Chain A
């Protein structure tokens, strides 16, 4: 057996692994830059950064195509990148520029790219879950074979929309996968304080759908579970709830003083960094050299830096266009 046969058996060859690594690095680099430029005053409004949680978005979205939908959260940059949304367009959107993917009208918390199946970040906690049900119903009704994935946080699992969406998806056997990104905190409230259950996945039992817990810092664990859940949804067997235990490196929002957790805790999670784990795996299994991975890191940094420079130079939206694309005509 050759060295590279092994990953192929389980569905990930070198090309796929490096593609996923690059996506993860894109997210991390994008978020680090967004944090820096937010501090520089280049980004209006708020930004909620996804750094640390990359394995979840990439592990899930690597199974999706443009015919599939995702709904996102206020912490949505990572989902956008994993779903293939244009990075320069995202940067411009954060800055409110006319070249943004929503022409500067969405900003960080409302980025959407329907062509890519990215139905929108969402400033309403738990707001994406019913939207995913609607998208899944569309796919089911039209017979497109598409699947909808709803990303949401541990805090959102206490919203009524979570329970309504799981119930609706269960009774209609919708092709939807609910992905709870449990990063341990609903804003500043620890999950053990705000949630009556240790594992949010347990709540799937109440709706008689599968619920599983995965290590959200492990790309392969997420990829494996998401692949099975998405395949199940495509087969018409209904929804699944996946709880990915993860961690965010930045505060709830940029400017958060993060008094509710310790440096020690943060450092413990950094020891299990999702990107470094993929890097280690690729090196140990002979799937990439350090030089190849470094080249990806450098290429991504150039790409993100160039996106910021382009966005800075891009025009502001014309005030005349303020009402364009705001309302839909049927």
Chain B
């Protein structure tokens, strides 16, 4: 059995943006991230993972977790500069892919995972939610996430059974590929990137979603509410916001539920491109204003692609692991002890 290494990318900046002020987002302090990483490490060690690589950060989320937990595996920082921006997550993901990591545990929100997805290639992710409007990562106990990542990395569970490739949205401006999104692309009249988070629906023009999921926060939930019968199907949604007799209540951000006038909405098949012309303003990717579209304006093209990141289904992994006896072996108590 080959035991693969596991990566950890914990974003120290997630969970602190303006949505704590304009909505009711929780402050996610880095001490809690340390606690979660500690539990992830203990989960990984319990499955026999021997080597863990992590993204270094100024605060030292993982190094502090190690200092307090002393897991039975080698936990090493990736040899990389720390620039304190999203580029750190991209670079760490690239390096983990180059090292052949078996999987990457991420702590952050949709934005963090978008950055990781830009660098990780086919390395599967175990995303733990520590952000605000999170659709891609799940609120999952770190111990369980660590065990699942460990079962996959150590080969005790066949990755083919539990890893799914998710869709993504490819974003081009005037024909040039600019970025990706995992959940949503939103064009906005908001004139600057500024505080980044997309929270005022009055500026929104068009929305492209990578999935149909009504029970999610943010614009993703709006698409699901419009097409509940298509929940879970391999389709996206394209919504044009504007004057209309049709208004839909949408959970824009935590505790912020706003009526959105829907001028038109349709399901989007995989592979199809939505073209949004005459755009001036900003383009939000996964809930954060990322691109400025300067005068005289530009044409945004968003393509729903099946080539998104691979993600470990934690629930399925634990289930398969249990069925295969992984926990029975791990839990054996020496006789005569």
Minimal beta-carbon separation of A207 from chain B (angstroms): 11
Inter-subunit contact A3/B27 (CB<8 Å): no
The verdict on A7 contacting chain B, using a C-beta distance below 8 Å, is yes
CA distance A199 to B20 in the complex (A): 14
Minimal beta-carbon separation of B32 from chain A (angstroms): 10
Q: Which of B104-112, B165-173, B192-200, B303-311 contacts its partner?
A: B192-200
Residues of B within 8 A of A284 (CB): 292, 294-295
Residues of B within 8 A of A212 (CB): 16-18, 20-21, 195
The verdict on A232 contacting chain B, using a C-beta distance below 8 Å, is yes
CA distance A204 to B203 in the complex (A): 29
Inter-subunit contact A224/B280 (CB<8 Å): no
Inter-subunit contact B58/A202 (CB<8 Å): no
Inter-subunit contact A10/B190 (CB<8 Å): yes
Q: Which of these, B13, B27, B59, B278, contacts A192 with CB under 8 Å?
A: B59
Residues of B within 8 A of A225 (CB): 18, 21, 195
Residues of A within 8 A of B273 (CB): none
CA distance A204 to B18 in the complex (A): 13
CA distance A198 to B27 in the complex (A): 13
The verdict on A22 contacting chain B, using a C-beta distance below 8 Å, is no
CA distance A10 to B195 in the complex (A): 12
Inter-subunit contact B18/A202 (CB<8 Å): no
The verdict on B35 contacting chain A, using a C-beta distance below 8 Å, is no
CA distance A247 to B19 in the complex (A): 24
Residues of B within 8 A of A199 (CB): 16, 29-30
Q: Knowing A3-B295, A281-B192, say if A232 contacts B21 (CB, 8 Å).
A: yes
Q: Mark A266-293, 1 if CB is under 8 A from B, else 0.
A: 0000000000000001001110000000
Inter-subunit contact A285/B191 (CB<8 Å): yes
The verdict on A176 contacting chain B, using a C-beta distance below 8 Å, is no
Closest to B16 in A: A213
CA distance A242 to B170 in the complex (A): 34
Residues of A within 8 A of B12 (CB): 198
Chain A contacts to B: CB under 8 angstroms: 1, 3, 5-7, 9-10, 12, 192, 197-199, 201-202, 204-205, 210-214, 218, 220-221, 223-225, 228-229, 232, 240, 281, 284-286
CA distance A7 to B74 in the complex (A): 52
CA distance A223 to B194 in the complex (A): 8
Inter-subunit contact A9/B16 (CB<8 Å): no
A-B contacts, 8 listed (Cβ < 8 Å): A1-B278, A6-B189, A9-B203, A198-B59, A210-B20, A212-B18, A212-B195, A213-B13
Inter-subunit contact A6/B59 (CB<8 Å): no
Inter-subunit contact A210/B16 (CB<8 Å): no
Q: Which of these, B29, B31, B59, B203, contacts A10 with CB under 8 Å?
A: B203
CA distance A286 to B22 in the complex (A): 30
The verdict on B331 contacting chain A, using a C-beta distance below 8 Å, is no
Q: Which of these, A10, A211, A285, contacts B27 with CB under 8 Å?
A: A211
Q: Knowing A6-B191, A220-B192, say if A202 contacts B30 (CB, 8 Å).
A: yes
Residues of B within 8 A of A220 (CB): 192-195
> Which interface class (under 10, 10 to 19, 20 to 34, 35 or more) fits B?
20 to 34
Q: Once A and B bind, how many residue pairs between them come within 8 Å at the CB atom?
A: 95
Inter-subunit contact B294/A202 (CB<8 Å): no
Minimal beta-carbon separation of A34 from chain B (angstroms): 30
Q: Knowing A6-B189, A12-B191, A285-B294, say if A224 contacts B27 (CB, 8 Å).
A: no
Inter-subunit contact A1/B21 (CB<8 Å): no
CA distance A240 to B27 in the complex (A): 13
CA distance A12 to B297 in the complex (A): 19
Inter-subunit contact A224/B18 (CB<8 Å): yes
Residues of A within 8 A of B189 (CB): 6, 9-10
CA distance A210 to B280 in the complex (A): 32
The verdict on B119 contacting chain A, using a C-beta distance below 8 Å, is no
CA distance A6 to B188 in the complex (A): 10
Residues of A within 8 A of B59 (CB): 192, 198
CA distance A5 to B297 in the complex (A): 12
Minimal beta-carbon separation of A1 from chain B (angstroms): 6
Contact residues, B16-70 vs A (CB, 8 A): 16-18, 20-22, 27, 29-31, 58-59
- The residue among A12, A197, A198, A240 with the most chain B CB atoms within 10 A of its own CB is A198
CA distance A192 to B84 in the complex (A): 13
Contact residues, B243-259 vs A (CB, 8 A): none
Identify the 8 closest CB pairs spanning chains A and B, nearest first: A220-B194, A198-B59, A220-B192, A3-B295, A213-B16, A202-B29, A7-B191, A205-B27
Minimal beta-carbon separation of A215 from chain B (angstroms): 8
Inter-subunit contact A214/B18 (CB<8 Å): yes
Inter-subunit contact B191/A10 (CB<8 Å): yes
Closest to B193 in A: A220
Inter-subunit contact A211/B191 (CB<8 Å): no
Q: Mark B204-240, 1 if CB is under 8 A from A, else 0.
A: 0000000000000000000000000000000000000
CA distance A305 to B17 in the complex (A): 40
Closest to A191 in B: B58
Residues of A within 8 A of B203 (CB): 9-10
Q: Knowing A198-B12, A199-B30, A211-B27, say if A224 contacts B281 (CB, 8 Å).
A: no
Minimal beta-carbon separation of A152 from chain B (angstroms): 18
The verdict on B296 contacting chain A, using a C-beta distance below 8 Å, is yes
Inter-subunit contact B194/A221 (CB<8 Å): yes
